[in-house]
C-alpha cells in the first residue's frame, strides 16, 4: 500500500450503468455500502417501496444514490429483508431506476460569451426538470444580456429587441421570435403566473432563444472563420477576382 486511500478498496462488487449527475459521463457506478430500505409511508413523495444504496461514479468518484422504486422486486420477495449479503444480487437483478443527483441536460454554446451561454444552459436545465417558469424567465434574461453585450442598453426590452433588428444583428423573423420570448418572460417577471406554462411551450421558447443566439453569435463566428479560410486559399494575385 502506498498510504493513499483508493475508493476501489471500499467498493463492493455490483456495478450499475449511470449517466453521472456530477460529471455527465455515461459509464458505471460501483456500489459502496449496504442497501437501505426506508420505512414505507404512504403520502410521502416517492412513497413506493424503495431500496437505496450509495454508489460512486467510476469516472469522477463522487457519491451518488441509486434507488429502486417498485411494488415488486423481481427475484426477491417483498417481505424479505434485503441484507448486506443480498444487496449485490439485488442490484444485479434490479438496477437503480433513479439516481440522485440526476443528470440534467444543459446545452453547449460555442462562440457565445460565457456568461450568456451559462444563463442559456441554465434555462435548458430548468426546463429539463420541469421548472418551466424559471426556464422562460431565464430565456428573457438571456435576451437582456445579449442586447447589453451588443451595446444596446437603453429603453425597454421591447425597444432593445427592435434595436438589435435595426442594427441588422437579427433578421425580422428572429426579431418576432425574440418578442414572443419577451411576451412570455414578461408574464413571469410581472407575476402573471396564474395560468400554468405547458412544458411544450417552454421547450419551444428555448428553441427560439437558441435561434437568437445562433444568429447573433454562432452564424457570425462561422462566417468570419470561413471568410478567413477563403482568404488564405487565395494567392495575392487572385485577390482582385
CA distance 134 to 128: 11
Cβ 14 to Zn ion shortest distance, Å: 17
* Residue 118 contacts residue 143 (beta carbons within 8 Å): no
Cβ 56 to Zn ion shortest distance, Å: 8
Nearer to Zn ion, 59 or 186 (CB): 59
Total number of residues that touch Zn ion (CB under 5 A) = 6
Cβ 25 to Zn ion shortest distance, Å: 5
* Continuous H helices in the chain: 7-10, 84-93, 114-128, 132-149, 157-166, 172-189, 199-213, 219-233
Cβ 101 to Zn ion shortest distance, Å: 10
Nearer to Zn ion, 33 or 84 (CB): 33
- Counted residue by residue, the chain has a size of 241
Stretch 5-34: interaction string toward Zn ion, x if CB under 5 A: ---------------x-xx-----------
Can you spell out the DSSP letters for 89-149?
A: HHHHHS--SEEESPP------TTS-HHHHHHHHHHHHHHHTT-HHHHHHHHHHHHHHHHHH
Binders of Zn ion among residues 154 to 173 (CB under 5 A) are none
Taking CB under 5 A as the binding criterion, the range among 54-62, 93-101, 151-159, 189-197 that sits at the site for Zn ion is 54-62
Nearer to Zn ion, 57 or 142 (CB): 57
CA distance 240 to 216: 30
Binders of Zn ion among residues 55 to 74 (CB under 5 A) are 57, 59-60
Task: Identify the residue whose cell numbers are 435595426.
Answer: 166
Give the footprint of Zn ion on this chain (CB under 5 A).
20, 22-23, 57, 59-60
Amino acid at each position: 500500500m502506498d498510504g493513499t486511500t483508493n475508493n476501489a478498496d471500499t467498493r463492493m462488487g455490483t456495478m450499475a450503468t449511470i449517466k453521472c449527475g456530477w460529471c455527465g459521463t455515461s459509464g458505471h457506478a460501483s456500489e459502496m455500502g449496504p442497501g437501505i430500505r426506508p420505512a414505507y409511508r404512504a403520502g410521502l413523495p416517492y412513497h413506493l417501496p424503495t431500496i437505496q444504496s450509495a454508489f460512486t461514479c467510476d469516472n469522477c468518484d463522487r457519491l451518488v444514490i441509486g434507488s429502486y422504486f417498485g411494488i415488486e422486486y423481481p427475484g426477491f420477495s417483498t417481505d424479505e429483508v434485503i441484507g448486506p449479503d443480498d444487496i449485490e444480487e439485488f442490484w444485479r437483478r434490479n438496477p437503480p431506476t433513479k439516481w440522485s443527483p440526476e443528470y440534467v441536460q444543459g446545452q453547449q454554446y460555442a462562440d457565445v460569451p460565457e456568461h450568456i451561454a451559462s444563463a442559456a444552459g441554465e434555462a435548458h436545465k430548468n426546463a429539463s426538470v420541469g421548472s418551466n417558469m424559471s426556464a422562460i424567465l431565464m430565456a428573457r434574461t438571456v435576451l437582456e444580456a445579449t442586447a447589453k453585450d451588443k451595446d444596446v442598453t437603453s429603453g425597454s426590452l421591447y425597444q432593445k429587441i427592435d434595436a438589435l433588428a435595426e442594427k441588422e444583428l437579427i433578421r425580422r423573423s428572429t426579431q418576432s421570435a425574440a418578442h414572443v420570448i419577451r411576451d412570455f418572460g414578461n408574464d413571469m417577471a410581472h407575476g402573471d403566473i396564474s395560468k400554468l406554462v405547458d412544458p411544450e411551450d417552454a421547450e419551444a421558447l428555448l428553441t427560439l432563444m437558441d435561434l437568437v443566439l445562433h444568429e447573433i453569435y454562432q452564424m457570425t463566428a462561422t462566417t468570419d472563420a470561413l471568410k478567413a479560410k477563403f482568404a488564405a486559399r487565395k494567392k495575392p494575385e487572385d485577390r482582385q477576382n
